[in-house]
Structure 1
Amino acid sequence: MFEIRKDASFSERNIPLGVLEVSYPENGFDRDALHSLIERELAALRDKYAGYDRKAVFGGNPYFRFFRKFKKTYPVMQQFETVMFKGRPFPEEDPVTAVPFLLELTTFVLSGTHDIDRIDGPLTIFTPDAKLPFDGMRGDSTHTYPNDICGRDDTGIIFSMIAGADNRTCVHPDSRHVFYPVFGTPDTASALIENALETLSGFVRTICPGAKTESAML
């Protein structure tokens, strides 16, 4: 596992955070398996949520409540609704990012993707007490939030749970050595994150049997 640290601002909050590190071999993806996995999981979701009601499904969701404190809409809820009910195609062009997206749709747990080879030094998880600026993954200027869950390396901030990934370490088409953070909230049970890590690992093994994986709970 690449080096990850927690500073006191995060560790004292006892918020679960999982990390899955993956080394994908070049040309090792089974795209037929990826497509079948996606179709199978989406079909199960359509059956499960045939009578979908947003309030019933997300009203008590800890991520929904956490984002609402920042006056934000939980992005996984938006993704779920656009794929399942508004006809948005599932983005399966890049298998590296398809698996965490599928994890989010099937578990409602928030994840992300970063290129380890673009990280400068160890990753430090922290909670800021102010709005700290950084460049978002689309090159736009964004910022952290007080009581946000964030990561930084020796160069700067690489993710904010609320604002998303940066544009330096976010994945590119050639990214093969990556890590997936699986975020918790103050109200999330550690078991939920542990199960999500195992589900994500299973997705990775399905689409790329030759991938090397290592997971950790922080």
Structure 2
Amino acid sequence: MLIVTEEWKTAHPGACIGLMILGDLANPGFDAVLEQRKKELTVFLKASFPTKEKLYGYGPLPVYTAYYKQYKKTYHVLQQMESVIFKGKQIPAGAALVEAMFMAELKTGLLTAGHDLEFIEAPLTLAAAGDEQYTGIRGREQRTKPGDMVMRDARGILSSILGGPDFRTKITANTKQALFVVYAPPGIRPGTVQQHLDLIGDNIRTFAPAAAVELQEIYTA
């Protein structure tokens, strides 16, 4: 399924990547059970992290913070967690597949990209970025940061850690088969990635009970 390049292994020793393909999907704009799960997740997060200090030290967050700091950036999932926990921001409503993925990110802190498998052209390749350009999920052109983790298909970049997913393969209301990619810099265990993938699948089955795992793999450097 995935070609893991030597340049990725050299640039990110100890890193891992998790892939999961789910089929037989639905992607409603609203699901009542998922909404209830979001409320429960908010309660869980606030109870688990009563202070910012406790949040900042949680599990994988220091790993991502250090990774982003290399590029003079801040880890956006941590910022989103802060907004929900300390600023009273609600977890946004929208396409259920994207919500399910985002909820898992908020609970575990792990970075995930989602893609519509229909628009991906094999082979998939995991590499370290050069100075490259692709159209981001919001339709704006952006450049990769040299050395960043990137995934490509035959047509170009699908996603990167710092730039996020592309526009061409984004999940839509019509998505029936999706690829989820978990980027885990060195310091995050494969077992943690596995649990995160399982959580995404569990969230999705609240509104798409027939969703089936067609592939689930973890690759290490």
Q: What residue in structure 2 maps to residue 112 of structure 1?
A: 113
Q: What residue in structure 1 maps to residue 3 of structure 2?
A: 5
| CA distance in structure 2 between the aligned counterparts of 1:144 and 1:16, rounded to whole angstroms | 20
3-state SS of paired residue (1:61): helix
Residues 80-112 of structure 1: per-residue CA shift (max 9 Å, x gap): 112232233312321110111001111111111
Matches within 5 A, 1:1-218: 3-12=1-10, 13-26=13-26, 31-53=31-53, 55-57=56-58, 61-128=62-129, 130-213=130-213, 214-218=215-219
**CA-atom RMSD in angstroms:** 2.3
Structure 1 position 10, deviation (Å): 1.8
Structure 1 position 47, deviation (Å): 1.2
Structure 1 position 141, deviation (Å): 1.4
Structure 1 position 189, deviation (Å): 1.8
Distance change (3 Å), C-alpha of 1:191 and 1:146: same
| CA distance in structure 2 between the aligned counterparts of 1:123 and 1:93, rounded to whole angstroms | 28
Distance change (3 Å), C-alpha of 1:74 and 1:201: same
3-state SS of paired residue (1:36): helix
Q: Which amino acid aligns with 2:196?
A: A
3-state SS of paired residue (1:111): strand
Aligned length: 215
Structure 1 position 28, deviation (Å): 7.9
Q: Which amino acid aligns with 1:5?
A: I
Consecutive unaligned residues of structure 2, counting only runs of 5 or more, are none
User: How many percent identity over aligned positions?
Assistant: 24
Q: Which amino acid aligns with 1:4?
A: L
Q: Which amino acid aligns with 1:177?
A: Q
Distance change (3 Å), C-alpha of 1:160 and 1:26: closer
Residues 172-200 of structure 1: per-residue CA shift (max 9 Å, x gap): 22222111111100222222212212222
Distance change (3 Å), C-alpha of 1:106 and 1:115: same
8 A contact 1:134–1:141 mirrored in 2? yes
8 A contact 1:133–1:143 mirrored in 2? yes
Give the TM-score of the pair, scaled to structure 1: 0.89
| CA distance in structure 2 between the aligned counterparts of 1:149 and 1:61, rounded to whole angstroms | 18
| CA distance in structure 1 between the aligned counterparts of 2:76 and 2:61, rounded to whole angstroms | 15
Give the strand-richer structure, 1 or 2: 2
Structure 1 position 25, deviation (Å): 3.6
| CA distance in structure 1 between the aligned counterparts of 2:197 and 2:165, rounded to whole angstroms | 19
Distance change (3 Å), C-alpha of 1:169 and 1:107: same
Structure 1 position 135, deviation (Å): 1.2
Distance change (3 Å), C-alpha of 1:136 and 1:6: same
